[in-house]
Structure 1
Amino acid sequence: MAIITISRGCFSHGKEVAEKTAEILGYKILSRETLIEEANQRYNVPEKELIQSIHDAPSVLERFTRGKEKYLSYIQAVLLEHAKDDNIVYHGHGSHILLPDISHVLNIRIIADLADRIDFMREKHNISEKEAISYINEEDNTRARWAHYLYKVDLTNPHSYAMTIRIKRMKVTDAAETICHAARRKTFVATPDSRKAIGDLALSSRVKAAIENYCKPDLKVSVNATSGIVYIKAETQNVRKSGYTSFKTEEYLREKTKKEITDEIGTAINGIPGIENVLYDIEPPSYT
């Protein structure tokens, strides 16, 4: 069966559409809050940091330390573990980014007119029109900055979705039934190849999250997995010389660092199910 992602702006009824879709299909419903709670438990990271990673654009400092990327790797690892089982509906802004472009993933965007979003927010929270407008505008801008800085994408780009549905004349139930009809089409039925692709990505994501959680923050890592074989590329920041260092000494230090990084990564990923073999490409620091 399909995996459905529902991207939405705040107070656009995307949550309600996702819940109704999951109810009709009998799918598991996942939200941003669900993933944050599970990532908090698995990686022992404060919920506040996880919430900010999936909501706020990174600060200048975070762009250097890659703090948000680390926390997002935890959330994505949790999501992909669920995705291996198919039959899920995940809703949240940027949901199509966290799940890969797999053939049985159906990406949906839910939109609503600003006036309707304002009325919906006022009804839910009993606030003034001015307060609602201010909140919605700020939230939209924050989400746009988050997607741009981290993924270089525009959340409103219709080319990112199979369908964009406007909640107006088409109500929540109408939208959900339309999505269900698409999800049942042969186009979005899981195949052995697409299931394998999800499994490989889930393993890659879990390995990367484990490394991010355990290893030194200056270690930049990329991970790819296929059929249980995990390819890990890691590099560290260059080191400034404190004085004269011979070429022989530099080579010794580079090889020593390379082994230390390999051992550290090995400890981090030890015990992760599904790993058959690990191939390393370690780029130790250069001395400048």
Structure 2
Amino acid sequence: MAVITLSRDICSKGALIAEEVARELNYECISRKILMEASDQFNIPEVQFAKAIHDGPSVFEKIFHGKEKYIAFFQAALLNHVKKNNVVYHGLGGQFFLKGIPHVLKTRVIMGMDARAEEKAREENISKTSARRLLAKDDKERYNWGMHVYGVNTGSNDLYDLVLHLDHLTVSDCVSLICKTAQSNTFCPTPESQAHMADLALAARIKATLIANYANIGITSSNGRVSIHVNELVDNPAGTKQKIQDCMAHISGIESLSIHVKSNLIRSPFHNSSPSMRHSA
């Protein structure tokens, strides 16, 4: 009953492996479906959503947090979908979005550039040189995405429990190894790991609800005890807290709520002084 994430580069047979693993384990296999669900839920055109999620950030977006809201929407949709378990996800960012959950098996499939270029050239009926150029561009965008969102190269082996190299293994080998590992006790869900998944899903949903109005916001949840930190100065802290409380009213799973807001008001030297001292010469 594990969740499996499979990271792969374009034309590395990763999608095929994910589908075969899901078939072998009788799991649901998802990728683009999460993008469609997030697009529907947050009323954003799928093409626009896909570009925002996939492409590396522009200078403008780095300054004004243009991508963060799309990433928050996507993470909320992904966590909501996979919290039921028995899922193979082979889309973007699974190793990041589901990080720290014990029953999530994070795998990566890699293949040499020459083999990938041959696959790409055959798929699109283009030269191997053109295929290599397109793949290099896509790899760079994925690298930029990972560095911008998490400050980590998506190709780093440290992010994964299992890394499989298709220059040395067959597709069948990879499927067998992933299935065997996923069925081990190490990746069996426990009440604690399920609770952790639920907390991450709740925090992601809250962030997706608030991020349009508060770009710099942090949310944590522990067994439904939610803490929200607005990490930007606001003119009306009390009003901001009330607005956030109102937004939380329709979100289920919150057992308790604490909200922390920074005031933008400049306190005078006499703010905490007694009335008589304020009026003294």
Q: Same fold (TM over 0.5)?
A: yes
Structure-2 residue corresponding to 1:278: 257
Q: How many Å separate the matches in 2 of 1:62 and 1:92?
A: 22
- Residue identity over aligned pairs, in percent, reads 32
Structure-2 residue corresponding to 1:130: 129
Contact 2:143–2:154 (8 Å) recurs in 1: yes
Opposite residue 101 of structure 2, the aligned amino acid is: I
Structure-1 residue corresponding to 2:238: 259
Structure-2 residue corresponding to 1:203: 202
Structure-2 residue corresponding to 1:223: 219
Kindly report the root-mean-square deviation, in angstroms, between the aligned alpha carbons of the 2 structures.
1.7
Q: How many Å separate the matches in 2 of 1:230 and 1:208?
A: 11
- The structure-2 alpha-carbon separation of the partners of 1:278 and 1:158, relative to structure 1 and needing over 3 Å to count, comes to same
Tell me the secondary structure at the aligned position of residue 11 of structure 1: coil
Q: Could you give the per-residue CA deviations for residues 178-232 of structure 1, whole angstroms, max 9, x where no partner exists?
A: 100000000110111111100111101101111124xx25x42111112222111
Q: Could you give the per-residue CA deviations for residues 76-99 of structure 1, whole angstroms, max 9, x where no partner exists?
A: 011111221111111124320111
Opposite residue 113 of structure 1, the aligned amino acid is: G
Is 1:43 the equivalent of 2:42? yes
Q: How many Å separate the matches in 2 of 1:269 and 1:209?
A: 12
Cα deviation, residue 108, structure 1: 0.6
Structure-2 residue corresponding to 1:92: 91
Structure-2 residue corresponding to 1:186: 185
Aligned residues: 267
Tell me the secondary structure at the aligned position of residue 168 of structure 1: coil
Structure-2 residue corresponding to 1:10: 10
Is there any run of 5+ residues in structure 1 with no aligned partner, and where?
A: 239-253
Tell me the secondary structure at the aligned position of residue 170 of structure 1: coil
Structure-2 residue corresponding to 1:268: 247
Opposite residue 262 of structure 1, the aligned amino acid is: K
Q: How many Å separate the matches in 2 of 1:67 and 1:156?
A: 24
Opposite residue 82 of structure 1, the aligned amino acid is: H
Cα deviation, residue 237, structure 1: 4.3
Tell me the secondary structure at the aligned position of residue 153 of structure 1: coil
State the TM-score, normalized to the length of structure 2: 0.90
Cα deviation, residue 54, structure 1: 2.2
Cα deviation, residue 268, structure 1: 2.5
Cα deviation, residue 169, structure 1: 4.4
Is there any run of 5+ residues in structure 2 with no aligned partner, and where?
A: 268-281
Following TM superposition, where does structure 1 have runs of at least 4 consecutive aligned residues deviating by more than 3 angstroms?
none
Q: Larger Rg: 1 or 2? A: 2
Tell me the secondary structure at the aligned position of residue 236 of structure 1: strand
Opposite residue 71 of structure 2, the aligned amino acid is: L
Structure-2 residue corresponding to 1:24: 24
- The structure-2 alpha-carbon separation of the partners of 1:16 and 1:286, relative to structure 1 and needing over 3 Å to count, comes to farther
